[in-house]
Each structure stands twice: as C-alpha cells, then as structure tokens.
Amino acid sequence: MRKKWVWVALGLAVLAGGAVYVKRDAIAMSLIQRGADAAMSRNIMAELRADQLHVGFCGTGSPLPSRDRAAACTVVIADGTLFVFDMGEGSGETLSLMGLPLDKVRGVWLTHLHSDHFEGLGPFTLQRWAGSTARTPLPVFGPEGVIEITEGLNRAYKIDSTYRIAHHGEAVVPPSGFGMTGSAISPGLVYNSGDVRITAFAVDHDPVRPAFGYRVDWKGRSVTITGDTAYTPALAAAAKGSDLLVSELLSPHMVKMLENSARKSGNANRAKIFADIQDYHISPGQAADVAKRAGVGMLAFTHIVPSVPKPFEFALTDDAATHFDGPTEIMHDGDVISISGGPAFSTRNLLSR
Ligand SMILES: [Zn+2]
Ligand SMILES: [Zn+2]
C-alpha cells in the first residue's frame, strides 16, 4: 500500500515538473516582471533611519582588476542627501545597483587625481542626468587639476549627449543638466550647509600632490575618510573623536608576494610597480594605530590591495587587531555602516538582497 503511494507521489512530481518546464518562458517573464517592479519602486532611503549617519561602500577596489570590487567610492548619507567621495571605475553602477537615488547626490569630492578615483565620473554623470532628469550639472570638487578632468570628460561625452537629447527629448534629458562642473578646493572647511560639515585635510601620497582625506560631521556624529596615503600624523589629528575611520588597505606582505611573482616570471616592469606602490600607502597596522590614537569607534577598510577570495581576507589586515581593539571590518561593495552615535555600529549589504 505504502509503495503505491510513493509511485503516485512520484508521478505527480513528474507531471508538475513537466508543467513547469512547458510554461518556463511565462514563469521566467513573470518573475522578471516582478523583479523589475520591485527594483523600480524600491526606496532604500526610507529604510535608512533618519537619525543615523550612514556610510556606504560603492567601490572598495583599487587599480588592480577585480570582478568583485569597483574602484574607489564611498558615500556618506545624512539628512536624506548623498555626499560621494571618489568615483572610481564601476562605482557609479554599484551606487545605482545599491538602489541609492542618484538625484540626491549633492556632489562628488575627489581625494586625489589618480584615475582609479575618478574614472567612474563619466558613466555616473550620464546615469544621473538621464535617470533623474537632472537640471544642473553634477558638482565635482577636488584638488587643483580637477577642472581639467571634468572639462575633459564633458568633452568626451558631448557627442553622446546630443544623441540622448534627440532621442528622449529635452523634458527627459534637459540640456542644462548635462555633464559636471569642477571646482578646485584647498584643505579646510569645504562644505557647510544644514547640519553637514565637510573638512578636507592634506595627506601624504607623494608624488600625487595635493592629496586629501575628508572628514564629515553631522549632528555630533562623524566619519573620516583617509583617501590614499602613507602614514602621516595628520590622519589621527583629522580623525580625532570620529565614530568611524574609513582607511585604505594595502597588505605589504601580499604586495611583496606579487612583486616576487612578477620578478620570477620575468616581468621586471610589473615587479617595479608592485615595489613602488608599497611606499605611498598606509599599512593595516599603521591604520589601526591611527584609529587608536584618534579614539575612533570603528575602523573600516576599503581600497583593498590586493583583492583576494573572501575566505583569505582575514590575512589582509596583518597585525591590525593588536593595534586597535575596536571593531574592524574589511568592507565589500554594497555595504552600508549605520552610525547611531554610540559604540554600536550596524552593517548591511544592499547588493545581497
Ligand atoms: Zn587609489
Ligand atoms: Zn592613489
């Protein structure tokens, strides 16, 4: 008797499987439609608590190619507004995929003019213009030389913009909103509006001069972003009392290994590049020292050099844990850290839903 029921159940399962197979196109289209509806109506800002300062990671990679990490990009969200720091290759797409509203981007502040920190500006500016019907260009701030970059990118995208306007019309892509405007800034207070204050400070990324880090303060909470830098006492001074320190990460041991591999395989030029980059980036231990000296609540690593598979990431931070006993995290694209102003930090990932 029992055997008979097993055969009946098996038969029904085969029939159901067959029905799903026959209808697979309709089922796939219906699921895709549902996904598209959910993506279009998603409102991430409503999910981010208004009484917290949020720090998102729209790019945690570096110039070394990685399929998992877009190049440098950090977004600070305060009072419903997005303040973006650096926009490396692929990071504009990551910002969009995180569901963050492009029309809420107040501006982009570049730490320095290495290309892995601005290559995403072109695609992002186009997405913002067409995706949110921007009526004014994207403001981009950065060290001396930034205007050369913004004007160059505007020139590169000019022809494309004429096609977009001709195709979609001025109501959708207003000509006044095309492109970006560059403004050169110097260390000091560079933004002060509402409750948000942004301070730029000089860091040491020689021969890249000038190079900045940024500190954002909002309602007694704050985050300090190092940008690319060798260790300098200016870091702890700038980050003093911040809730969160966002530091770049370069593993000297692993980069040394890459240098040795390049040399062994006869690639002397590559070996020299790997040797050169070791002296203008901070080590994880030094970053942890800065975190301790500045008395920050949490240390978050980004600009990961090199990007390694997740199970090996623990080895990237070397002895950082012996220098700083607060929470330390290696960030991934899509992560958001929410700061309440106390010792507790919550992290979620907006890409893994
Ligand atoms: Zn960099
Ligand atoms: Zn750099």
Q: Could you tell me the pTM of the whole model?
A: 0.90
Ligand closest to CA 117 = 1
CA–centroid distance, 6 to ligand 1, in Å, is 62
Q: Which whole number is the average pLDDT over 257-286?
A: 88
What's the pLDDT at 8? Answer: 82
Ligand closest to CA 276 = 2
CA–centroid distance, 125 to ligand 2, in Å, is 22
CA–centroid distance, 280 to ligand 2, in Å, is 8
What's the pLDDT at 252? Answer: 86
pLDDT band at 1 (very low <50, low <70, confident <90, very high): low
CA–centroid distance, 121 to ligand 1, in Å, is 15
pLDDT tens digits, one per residue of 177-199: 999 999 999 999 999 999 999 99
Q: Please give the CATH topology (third level) of the domain spanning 49-118+184-349.
A: Metallo-beta-lactamase; Chain A (3.60.15)
Place of tokens 């979609």: 168
With a cut of 90, say whether residue 139 has pLDDT above it.
Answer: yes
Ligand closest to CA 114 = 2
What's the pLDDT at 30? Answer: 83
Pick 174 or 40 by higher pLDDT: 174
CA–centroid distance, 1 to ligand 2, in Å, is 74
What's the pLDDT at 192? Answer: 98
What is d(CA 166, CA 143) in angstroms, rounded to the nearest whole number? 35
CA–centroid distance, 333 to ligand 2, in Å, is 19
SS (H, E, C) the chain: CHHHHHHHHHHHHHHHHHHHHHCHHHHHHHHHHHHHHHHHHCCHHHHCCCCCEEEEEEECCCCCCCCCCCCCEEEEEECCEEEEECCCCCHHHHHHHCCCCHHHEEEEECCCCCHHHCCCHHHHHHHHHHHHCCCCCEEEEECCCHHHHHHHHHHHHHHHHHHHHHHHCCCCCCHHHCCEEEEECCCEEEEEECCEEEEEEECCECCECCCEEEEEEECCEEEEECCCCCCCHHHHHHHCCCCEEEEEEECHHHHHHHHHHHHHCCCHHHHHHHHHHHHCCCCHHHHHHHHHHHCCCEEEEEEEECCCCHHHHHHHHCCHHHHCCCCEEECCCCEEEEECCCCCEEEEECCCC
Question: Can 116 be counted among the known catalytic residues?
Answer: yes
pLDDT tens digits, one per residue of 226-237: 999 999 999 999
pLDDT band at 257 (very low <50, low <70, confident <90, very high): confident
Residue of 116, 217, 228, 335 with catalytic role: 116
Q: Are 70 and 60 in contact (CB under 8 A)?
A: yes
With a cut of 90, say whether residue 255 has pLDDT above it.
Answer: no
CA–centroid distance, 282 to ligand 1, in Å, is 12
The β-bridge relationship of strands 188-193 and 244-250 is unpaired
Ligand closest to CA 248 = 1
CA–centroid distance, 25 to ligand 2, in Å, is 48
Average pLDDT, the chain: 92
Query: For residue 194, what are its two tokens?
Result: 């509402």
Ligand closest to CA 69 = 1
211 alpha carbon, distance to own chain's centre: 18
CA–centroid distance, 98 to ligand 2, in Å, is 25
What's the pLDDT at 81? Answer: 97
With a cut of 80, say whether residue 151 has pLDDT above it.
Answer: yes
What's the pLDDT at 5? Answer: 80
What is d(CA 134, CA 119) in angstroms, rounded to the nearest whole number? 20
Q: Are 231 and 282 in contact (CB under 8 A)?
A: yes
Instruction: Determine which of 1-10, 104-113, 122-131, 140-149 has the lowest per-residue pLDDT on average.
Output: 1-10
Pick 143 or 250 by higher pLDDT: 143
With a cut of 70, say whether residue 353 has pLDDT above it.
Answer: no
With a cut of 90, say whether residue 17 has pLDDT above it.
Answer: no
With a cut of 80, say whether residue 73 has pLDDT above it.
Answer: yes
Ligand closest to CA 116 = 1
What's the pLDDT at 273? Answer: 87
Percent of the chain with pLDDT over 70: 99
Domain ranges of the chain: 1-36, 49-118+184-349
Q: Which whole number is the average pLDDT over 239-259?
A: 91
CA–centroid distance, 227 to ligand 1, in Å, is 8
What's the pLDDT at 276? Answer: 82
